[in-house]
Amino acid sequence: MNEDTKEYKGFDTSILYTYKDLPDIQSGRCDNCGNAQFKSSVKNFTFIRECRQCGMKKSI
C-alpha cells in the first residue's frame, strides 16, 4: 500500500486530542491509521505525540 491508497478512519488531524477524552483503541498505535511510530514533543509542560504517517496529535 502506498500513501495514496492508505485508508484513514476520519479523525481530523488539525485538532489536538487529549488522551483522557480519547484513549487509544489499540495501545501504542494511532487511532487514525494504526501506525506505531510517533514524534514526541513537550509544549507548555504537556507531552504531545504526533503520528509520523498521518499527523494525528494526541496530548498524553
pLDDT digits (tens, 9 = 90+) for 5-49: 577 888 999 999 999 999 999 999 999 999 999 999 998 999 999
E strand map for 19-56: 38-43, 46-51
Query: What pTM was computed for the model?
Result: 0.81
- Say whether pLDDT at 57 is over 90: yes
What are the strands of the beta sheet with 16-18, ordered from one edge? 16-18, 57-59, 46-51, 38-43
Of 28, 20, 21, residue with least CA distance to 49: 28
Domain ranges of the chain: 16-59
> Where does the pLDDT of residue 2 fall: very low under 50, low under 70, confident under 90, or very high at 90 and above?
low
Distance CA 41, CA 24 (A): 18
pLDDT of residue 7: 73
